[in-house]
Amino acid sequence: MSEFLYLYRLPADSPNMPDSARNMQERLQKWTAWFKELEARGHLRTMGHPLESGGTVVGEGGRTVHDGPYAESKDIVLGYSVVQARDLAEARAAAGGCPILGYGGMVEVRPIRQM
Amino acid sequence: MTASLPDEDFFRRESGRLVSTLTRMLGVHHLALAEDAVQETLAAAVEVWAFRGVPENPSAWLTTAARNRAVSLLRRERTARRFAPEIVRLADAEGAPTESPVAHLPPALRDDELRMMFSCCHPDIPEDAQVALVLSLLSGFSAHELAEAFLVSRAAMEKRLSRAKKMLSGTRGLFELGARDFETRLVAVHRALYLLFNEGYHGASPDAAVRLDLCREAMRLVALLLAHPPAATPATHALAALMALDAARLPARVDEAGDLTELSRQDRSRWDGRLIARGLELLESSARGEVVSEYHLEAAIAATHALAPSAEKTSWGEIVELYDALLRLRPSPVVALNRAVAIAEQLGPERGLEALRSIPGTERLSAYPFYPAALGELELRCGRPADARRHFRAAHRLARNPAERTFLERRIAECERQLSSGSSPDATRPSSSKLSPRRTR
């Protein structure tokens, strides 16, 4: 079994905010169901955390490289989780049901270095 | 943390509650800011709860979060200015988020949501905008969803909403209701909720889920009126009864293919018995006062249908009498159309046609597909399929959504079947097919 990091990304310019009660209800339901399924299939190691959109990037000598949530990317990272899977293909397949894909986002799947 | 998800109306309810409460705290001139704060809070809650689960007391969680969000939005807005009394007021409200400093108001209006509802129904705001405003501010509908529900362009709906919100937030007096306004405004609130329910029940949107949402919201909001005694008048009970009795038929109204099924052909075993019982109970408690409102009469009509074992065994005479009373109270060609259809059931199609043709002001029905459709139905029953087809075609040109079009296409096909087989009138009566026209407006 290998471990993978899921990074939930949204393009900074996408209209990612749910704009109605129905939207929100659906989104929460989908995320909850998805996490439940990851867990049921034995993939979920840590659910991880949602991230605030604010923040800063600190460089050498403590100087601020960049204000904002991202370094060089045009994406906002909404949160992350750690999962386990046999290989990248399986981790990738398990990410396919992530609700963020339904509203313009994507999941970055990164193998966690083991040695 | 609880694992359980909030019930399906949760975000609607919370959205309405938070917007109303923040607006009261901030003052109505900050309506837009209150809305922004609430939307951002709810969106953030979705993200946080997805990862951490729903907290024990989600409403309290949201109240605190929304207040904090409002404070930070205000700070951002006010950095250029020096004094922001709203911030102080909000900060003071810490720990006592729902205590309302409006003791001078009639008790029902001390409830933030009712006060918002009454404000949305100000006579200066046009009726269609009142309904949109209620759905936007109290039920968390987006402009996009409302545009779909009311079959207007998104731009038109946004304009309608922003104009109404500008009026609401720009006029202090609009939000500050006195005891004297209460009764007259309650009439407007009833009307708006009635229109809202009808839009869901008979409305133009082809999306059944959207329409069901509208019905549910109308019922939720009318329940809010029932829960606050001064607003729980006999007319409020009658309106709630009408909604329950009509909603009871919803499960049987659409067939497996998603097509509309007329009242006479509905499988009555699929009517919701619990809603019927609830509706009858409400109708009974609506009989307390001396005033008979239009909602009493319409609820009584719905109850008569609900209690009938079949279309044939319906007390049509009673229904005609109720429509007569309704016509005296609210003369309208649509009510007269409904009455004519009931007369056809009671006394036969020729008498129904007479009644239809003698409706004063039929030109007001010229854009209304159910008028020619009713003519077609009765002509067909009189054994004149060629005339019937002409009327159904006229109705088809006026149809406003796919469900209506499909329905009318089936009727046109029936006329053609009869024309080609030359069948006799009494063999053609299509299961005493009665139209269920759009509710009277």
> Is the pLDDT reported for residue B431 higher than 60?
no
Do B39 and A25 count as a contact with CB atoms less than 8 A apart?
Answer: no
When scoring B18, B20, B42 by the number of chain A Cβ atoms within 10 A, the one with the most, hence best to mutate, is B42
Residue B123, Cβ neighbours under 10 Å: how many?
Answer: 13
A70 band by pLDDT with thresholds 50, 70 and 90:
low
Domain B315-428 has CATH 1.25.40.10: yes
Taking alpha carbons only, the member of B18, B225, B197 closest to residue B114 is: B225
CA distances from B341 to B245, B360, B370 (A): 20, 15, 11
Assigned token pair, B380 = 């067909």
State the pLDDT at residue B433. 43
Query: Any chain B CB within 8 A of the CB of A29?
Result: yes
Torsion of CA B394, B400, B405, B407, to 10 degrees: -100
pLDDT digits (tens, 9 = 90+) for B78-109: 664 555 555 556 655 544 444 444 555 555 56
Q: Does residue B64 have a pLDDT over 90?
A: yes
The tens digit of pLDDT for each residue in B343-398 reads 999 999 999 999 999 998 777 777 788 899 999 999 999 999 999 999 999 999 99
Question: Residue B213: which of A22, A49, A79 has the nearest Cβ?
Answer: A22
Query: The domain containing residue A85 runs over which residues?
Result: 2-12+22-111
- What are the angstrom distances between the C-alpha of B271 and each of B64, B237, B262, B309, B432? 42, 21, 13, 11, 20
Residue B351 in tokens: 């008498």
Q: Is B144 on the interface with A (CB under 8 A)?
A: yes
List the structure tokens of B79.
Answer: 């950095």
A109 bridge partner residues: A6
Domain count along chain A: 1
For residue B401, pLDDT beyond 80: no
Q: Which of A6, A8, A20 has the most B C-beta neighbours within 10 Å, making it the best mutation to test the interface with B?
A: A20
**Is the ipTM above a cut-off of 0.90?**
no
Which two tokens mark B168? Answer: 């609401």
pLDDT in tens, B372-387: 999 999 999 999 999 9
Q: What is the mean pLDDT of chain B?
A: 84
B141 interfacial to chain A (CB closer than 8 Å): yes
Residue A28 lies in a domain: yes
Mean pLDDT calculated for residue range A68-78: 65
Asked if residue B238 lies in contact with residue B283, where contact means CB atoms within 8 angstroms, the answer is yes
| Identity of the amino acid at B224 | L
Is the per-residue pLDDT at B228 higher than 80? Answer: yes
In a domain, A17, yes or no: no
Minimum distance, in Å, between the CA of residue B185 and any CA atom of chain A = 27
Whether the CB of B38 is below 8 Å from some CB of chain A: the reply is no
Here the CATH number for the domain that contains residue A99 is 3.30.70.1060
Q: How far is A40 from chain B (nearest CA, A)?
A: 15
Over 70: is that where the pLDDT of B139 sits?
yes
Nearest Cα of chain B lies from the Cα of A80 at a distance, in angstroms, of 9
pLDDT tens for A47-58 read 888 888 777 778
